[in-house]
Amino acid sequence: MTEDDAKAAMTALTDQAHLARQHMYQSHIDQRNAALLSAAGHMKTRINALLDANKIDVAQAQVNGLSEAYIDRLTLTEDRIAGMIEALHVIAGLDDPVGVELARWSRPNGLDISRISTPLGVLGVIFESRPNVTVDAAALAIKSANCVILRGGSDSINSAIMLGDMMRHGLRDAGLPEDTVQVITNTDRAMVGAMLRAQGGIDVIVPRGGKSLVERVQAEAKIPVFAHLEGICHIYVHADADPQLAISVVVNAKMRRTGICGAAETLLIDKAVVHTIWPDIAAALRDAGCQIRGDAAAKAVCPWIDAASSDDFGHEFLDAVIAVKVVDDVDAAIAHIRQHGSDHTESILSANNEVAEYFVAQIDSSIVMINASTQFADGGEFGMGAELGIATGRIHARGPVSIEQLTCFKYIVRGNGQTRP
């Protein structure tokens, strides 16, 4: 596919999206909710067909020799589909994020000024392996009266096309334009470049995938980007941590699902508990199937673990591997996170509230937790129904990107004949 061919194809998609956008902008929240619930119904009745489509994707991924973690992200199960259906119901039950009066004030000259939330417009979502992104992105776009163009990777194309079709059926059932949601069926990489250059056609790009994809998007995009480059999440076991809580949370943070961006990649152990809590955490991680790479101080206490290299710290494994470092105190933990973190998610485990609040105040990641697993770094777990991803930049969308982050605003100024002197 030539660059010109890709540009023409993208222009056709964005033109259709802009026509749909006009209808979505004027749509009633009841229509949008009905579309979500109808799509959930289609997903439930066509679950076997969806599983069959996904099996084709998974089988091809296995032939291609992709990692177990990657295949896990690609795989749909009845439970995961049930989770998507539940997310559609949750999103339908959320308040309308559009038309909300965010602020209002009056000026001495009598002007009445209000700030009202509005849809962003047309979203461009580029993802690799996770087919559920199709549903999450489409549902959040519909709820917030936006339109979305989705470009999935070749690994998930069969699943993504079928899920997109279900969302379009829901829109049609609700009397809304089905081109509110468009899935690009051509997996040629030229389409990615066309999306990134679609100024005036797409209002914001959201990449969901590995580091190479996000780096390309951030380097080439001519339009705003909501993204995180890596999920280098840290968990710090403070001197006053509860031992059993620490074991449970650390194992969950690393091993619940190793291939997601909220999985802990580095464990920081306070030197005060290196001889007490650390051996039990190490044993629990080992028993769960985790490879442990520790610094000299961690390995001195648990000599059976592997030695860490300097490259292990600040590395996103996305696998059953964790880097471990012993630190002097909370300030040393903070310094390590500032040097090696990616502004995604960090957690402190401590029964000392003063220290925990100090940690929270000093760490400027998009999500900071106290006594909780980093695997909760998820819009669904935050009560948002779903997310488009985790954004780590410093624009209005930071942390889980959900319906509120998919709005901007306009000012409405009401007067009675005022003129400016």
Domain residue spans of the chain:
3-226+401-413, 233-376
How does residue 1 score in pLDDT terms, banded at 50, 70 and 90?
Answer: confident
Q: What is the pLDDT of residue 81?
A: 96
Please tell me the distance from the alpha carbon of residue 94 to that of residue 81, in angstroms, as a whole number.
Answer: 20
What's the pLDDT tens digit per position in 127-142?
887 899 999 999 999 9
- pLDDT band at residue 393 using 50, 70 and 90 as cut-offs: confident
Q: What are phi and psi of 268, to 5 degrees?
A: -105, 125
The answer on pLDDT for 286 being more than 80 is yes
Mean of all residue pLDDT scores within the chain: 95
The pair of structure tokens assigned to 368 is: 């900071």
Average pLDDT score over residue span 325-338 = 98
| Residue 130 confidence (pLDDT) | 85
Judge whether 3-226+401-413 and 233-376 match in fold. Answer: no
Six token digits for residue 4: 């010109």
User: Which pLDDT tens digit goes with each residue over 358-384?
Assistant: 999 999 999 999 999 999 999 889 988
Of 112, 78, 80, 115, the C-alpha closest to 100 is 115
150 within 8 A of 125, measured Cβ to Cβ: yes
| Sign of the alpha-carbon dihedral angle for 291, 344, 215, 325 | negative
Supply the pLDDT for residue 344: 96
pLDDT over 90 percentage in the chain: 86
Q: How confident is the model at residue 326 (pLDDT cuts 50, 70, 90)?
A: very high
For 171-189, what is each residue's pLDDT tens digit? 999 999 999 999 999 988 8
3-226+401-413 folds as Aldehyde Dehydrogenase; Chain A, domain 1 (3.40.605)
Here the tokens at position 60 are 């091809």
Please give the residue that has the higher pLDDT: either 392 or 357. Answer: 357
* 72 pLDDT above the threshold of 80: yes
| Contact between residue 121 and residue 203 where contact means Cβ atoms under 8 Å apart | yes
Among 198-207, 210-219, 231-240, 310-319, where is mean pLDDT lowest?
210-219
Q: What is the pLDDT of residue 105?
A: 98
Question: If you search the block for the tokens 């379009």, which residue do you land on?
Answer: 168
Q: Quote the CATH superfamily of domain 233-376.
A: Aldehyde Dehydrogenase; Chain A, domain 2 (3.40.309.10)
